[in-house]
Structures are given as structure tokens and as C-alpha cells.
Amino acid sequence: MRHLRKDDLSNMSKFWSDIVKGLDPYVPGEQANDASIIKLNTNENPYAPSPKVIESIRDSLGDQLRLYPDPQALVLRETIAEREGVRASNVFIGNGSDEVLAHAFRALFKVGETVFFPDITYSFYPTYCKLFDLNYERVALTTDFEIDLELYPSRSGGIIFPNPNAPTGIQKDRPALERFLQSRPDTIVVIDEAYVEFGAQTSSSLTTVFPNLLVTRSFSKSYSLAGLRIGYAIGHEDLIEGLYRVKDSFNSYPVDRLALVGAEAAIRDQSYLAQIVEKIVSTRSWVSNELAKLNFNVLPSSANFLFVRHSSVEAENIVKKLRQQNILVRHFPNPDRIRGFLRISIGTADDMKILVDRLRTILAE
Ligand SMILES: *Cc1c(COP(=O)(O)O)cnc(C)c1O
């Protein structure tokens, strides 16, 4: 289905609410079904999920599917809480971290004030602002594409950024974030840690010190469970209760029984997580070197993707030629400052060797 854009005014239904007319829906990266395609465009994990995840989902495929899942997801919350050194009342579970983020925008950000996020970041943030009628302002990254924390006001309707940032992959260290939070006790700060397991420092323990901090996490990238749709947040119990108030005004059962047991098994199998993350991190450093040799400027990534710009060949051109070779990568035409960049997810070592070979050929043409 094609999403209508704002300039398709003539196609708008007269029955739409004003909010719907003003929406700017997020457009996810292409999902290809063809197995011959090397898919490096949506930051999925190239490795299978833990076998223990599959096993526990299989064990739950039975009569109990006639029953609703636990609306509070208590067992999974306790499992996560134990790992994070917090209580179950500090953990919220949702249908992917996108849904957790949506509830955070609704529950915690203030209508009538301004929400701040980086000018180059996850493009779902402005989408949610429009959905929830929030004013927002984009804050410029530094010339090195780093988040410039100094530029965020001390009081606002809310602040959100990913750490590491997407699509740059660059992380902020914990001491910098701690100083930032110390100086902004009256503003809600959401740190989106969708990629944190790939080598960034987590801020989850700071949630016990700063009652205005919410950290969100995903099972989609590091745990290789994008298809299961599950994510969570960690924060002061008052923030978590706010999220549950929104969730329980929207959908009592957003996370199904299979996702609950699968995610629990994933959390319990930390050695498997460490194994696949370590493979991706080592492939990431190999590809970074190879791309640098091919005259790409490679931003320092703490995530499972690289954000790269070639010194002379246009990004759109490279994307087109890779596509002809059955390799998908992501290109963002906006803002202008990143038009020259490609975002390349880290696949298996074999996938990435093919990518580098094809790039070498394309650039030699
Ligand atoms: C992928 C991603 C998410 C969403 O993750 P899901 O858990 O799959 O909904 C959130 N934030 C950022 C920055 C992401 O890249």
C-alpha cells in the first residue's frame, strides 16, 4: 500500500481528521522476499536468533494460545529487571521499541511546549510528534556529526536521541550523559538504546539516579528478533506507570504469548547474544577498513551499521548500482547534509566481502 504524502491533497478523504491530514508517516526500508538479495538496508541481524528462543516459542505453541497473554508481562519484566539491577516496576514492555517510544511521546512529552531532538536522527521522532500534536525543534549535530548536548535547553517539553545515534552510529559516553542529566533535572530525557549492545555504554543504571530519564531498548537488532516485535523501557516507576496508563488506554495485549516467552529466553541466553554481537563487531571493523581503502569516509560506529560517504562518487549512484547487483543499502535524501551518505547494515562476513567486491567494481567504472 502506498502512503499518501501531504502534497497529494486531491487524494485526501474528506472524512479524515485534521490530525490525519497533517501526518507524515514513517517509511520503513524496503523488505525484499527474494533470498538472492543481500539485505543491508534495515539493520536486521544476519544471524539466527538463539536456539533457546525458538525452542521456548515452540513449547508455547499449544492450547494456551486460546488464552490472552499477561497484560502486565510480569515474568519478562522481572527477567529484564534482574539483569538490569532494577525492579519489575521500573520496566515497561511493548510491541517493538517503536511502540514503546510512541507511548513515551504520548505519556511524557508536553503538548504546548517544544520537544528537541538531533537534526540527523531516527525519523520516527518527527512522525510521532505530528501524531501526538507536539511541537518540535531539531538541534544541529556538530561538524563531526556528533550530538551537541550543550545546545539542548535546560527546560523543554522533552528531549530524545538515540545512543548510539542513528543513522550516524556515533555514541555519547556515559560521563557526558550524566553531566547532561545533572544539568536538566526538570526535563524528560528519553535515550533510545536500540543499538546499545553493539559497543556503546548504556545509561540504564542512570535511571536509578535520574527520575527524569527513560531508556528504551529493542530485541530487533542485537537479539535478532525483528520479526517478533518486542521492546522495552527502563525508568523510574512513575514514568513506567505513565507508559502503562497510555498502553492500557490503547491496547491491553500488545505483546503476544510467543513474543513474551521468546524474549525471556533471549534475555536468559546472554552468551549467545555476546557471540553474535562479537561477530558483527569484528565484521564491522573489517568493513570499515576496506571501505576506507576504497576512499569512503567512515563515521566511527558503535552500532550494527556504518554511515559512509565516498570522496567522489554520488551516493544515489552507488545505491542504484548496488541494487542492480542485488544488494540493498539505505540512502536518506534529507536533510541535505547527509545526502552524500549511505547507511550500510553489517551482514555476515561473507555478505560483506561480496559488498566490498561489488563496490570495488562499481567505483572502478
Ligand atoms: C530499529 C530502531 C527502533 C525500533 O526498533 P523496534 O524494536 O524494531 O521497534 C527504534 N529506534 C531506533 C533508533 C531504531 O533504529
Asked, as a colleague might, if the bond just before 167 is cis with ω within 30 of 0, I would say: yes
Q: How far is the CA of 15 from the centre of ligand 1 (A)?
A: 32
Residue whose CA is at the smallest distance from ligand 1 atom 5: 97
Q: What is the mean pLDDT of the chain?
A: 95
User: What ligand 1 atom has the least distance to the C-alpha of 95?
Assistant: 9
The strand pair at 327-329 and 135-139 is best described as unpaired
User: What ligand 1 atom has the least distance to the C-alpha of 100?
Assistant: 9
User: What ligand 1 atom has the least distance to the C-alpha of 162?
Assistant: 13
User: What does the pLDDT read at residue 4?
Assistant: 53
Q: Are 178 and 163 contacting, i.e. CB atoms less than 8 angstroms apart? A: no
- Whether pLDDT at 32 is above 90: no
Amino acid in the structure at residue 31: Q
- Whether pLDDT at 269 is above 90: yes
Q: Are 77 and 91 contacting, i.e. CB atoms less than 8 angstroms apart? A: yes
User: What does the pLDDT read at residue 86?
Assistant: 98
Please name which of 252, 243, 216, 213 lies closest in space to residue 231, comparing C-alpha atoms: 216
- Whether pLDDT at 299 is above 50: yes
- Whether pLDDT at 7 is above 60: no
Please name which of 44, 90, 70 lies closest in space to residue 261, comparing C-alpha atoms: 70
Residue 1's pLDDT band, with cuts at 50, 70 and 90, is very low
Q: How far is the CA of 365 from the centre of ligand 1 (A)?
A: 36
CA distance 138 to 57: 41
What is the mean pLDDT of the segment spanning 261-271?
Answer: 98
| Sequence ranges of the domains in the chain | 12-48+271-364, 51-269
The beta strand positions in 106-212, using DSSP E, are 114-118, 135-139, 158-162, 189-192
**Substitution candidate for ligand 1 out of 92, 95, 122 with most atoms within 8 A of CB:** 122
CA distance 216 to 192: 5
The strand pair at 305-310 and 341-345 is best described as antiparallel
Q: Which residues pair with 115 in a beta bridge?
A: 136, 158
pLDDT in tens, 135-186: 999 999 999 999 999 999 999 999 999 999 999 999 999 999 999 999 999 9
Range from 3-12, 94-103, 185-194 carrying the lowest mean pLDDT: 3-12
What is the mean pLDDT of the segment spanning 268-273?
Answer: 98
User: What does the pLDDT read at residue 5?
Assistant: 56
Q: How far is the CA of 94 from the centre of ligand 1 (A)?
A: 12
Please name which of 57, 22, 28, 73 lies closest in space to residue 251, comparing C-alpha atoms: 73
Q: How far is the CA of 231 from the centre of ligand 1 (A)?
A: 9
Residue 22's pLDDT band, with cuts at 50, 70 and 90, is confident
Q: How far is the CA of 98 from the centre of ligand 1 (A)?
A: 6
Range from 4-13, 55-64, 216-225 carrying the lowest mean pLDDT: 4-13
The beta strand positions in 163-254, using DSSP E, are 189-192, 213-218, 231-235
Q: How far is the CA of 218 from the centre of ligand 1 (A)?
A: 6
What is the mean pLDDT of the segment spanning 327-346?
Answer: 95
Q: How far is the CA of 99 from the centre of ligand 1 (A)?
A: 9
C-alpha cell at 200: 556503546
215: phi then psi, degrees, rounded to nearest 5: -110, 130
Question: Helix 237-247 crosses helix 96-108 at what angle (to 10 degrees)?
Answer: 100
Check if 12-48+271-364 and 51-269 are the same fold. no
Q: What percent of the chain has pLDDT over 90?
A: 90
Q: Which residues of 125-140 are buried (b: 16+ CB within 10 A; e: fewer)?
A: bbbbbebeebebeebe
User: What ligand 1 atom has the least distance to the C-alpha of 122?
Assistant: 13
User: What ligand 1 atom has the least distance to the C-alpha of 230?
Assistant: 7
User: What ligand 1 atom has the least distance to the C-alpha of 220?
Assistant: 8
**Substitution candidate for ligand 1 out of 31, 93, 95, 97 with most atoms within 8 A of CB:** 97
pTM over 0.85: yes
User: What does the pLDDT read at residue 8?
Assistant: 53
User: Span 12-48+271-364: which CATH code?
Assistant: 3.90.1150.10
pLDDT in tens, 273-294: 999 999 999 999 999 999 999 9
Please name which of 334, 230, 257, 308 lies closest in space to residue 66, comparing C-alpha atoms: 257
**Substitution candidate for ligand 1 out of 95, 98, 125, 165 with most atoms within 8 A of CB:** 98
- At CB < 8 A and 24+ separation, what contacts does 33-38 make? 34/326, 36/326, 37/326, 37/327, 37/328, 38/326, 38/327, 38/328, 38/347, 38/351, 38/354, 38/355
CA distance 287 to 11: 45
Cα–Cα–Cα angle for 62, 68, 72, nearest 5°? 125
Q: How far is the CA of 47 from the centre of ligand 1 (A)?
A: 18
Q: How far is the CA of 134 from the centre of ligand 1 (A)?
A: 20
pLDDT in tens, 94-109: 999 999 999 999 999 9
Amino acid in the structure at residue 279: K
Question: Helix 51-59 crosses helix 257-268 at what angle (to 10 degrees)?
Answer: 150
Q: How far is the CA of 29 from the centre of ligand 1 (A)?
A: 12
Q: Assign domain 51-269 one CATH number from 3.40.640.10, 2.40.50.140, 1.20.120.10, 3.30.9.10.
A: 3.40.640.10
Protein residues with CB under 6 Å of any ligand 1 atom: 96-98, 122, 162, 166, 192, 194, 218, 220, 226, 231
Residue 10's pLDDT band, with cuts at 50, 70 and 90, is low
- Whether pLDDT at 29 is above 90: no
Q: Are 194 and 217 contacting, i.e. CB atoms less than 8 angstroms apart? A: yes
Residue whose CA is at the smallest distance from ligand 1 atom 1: 194
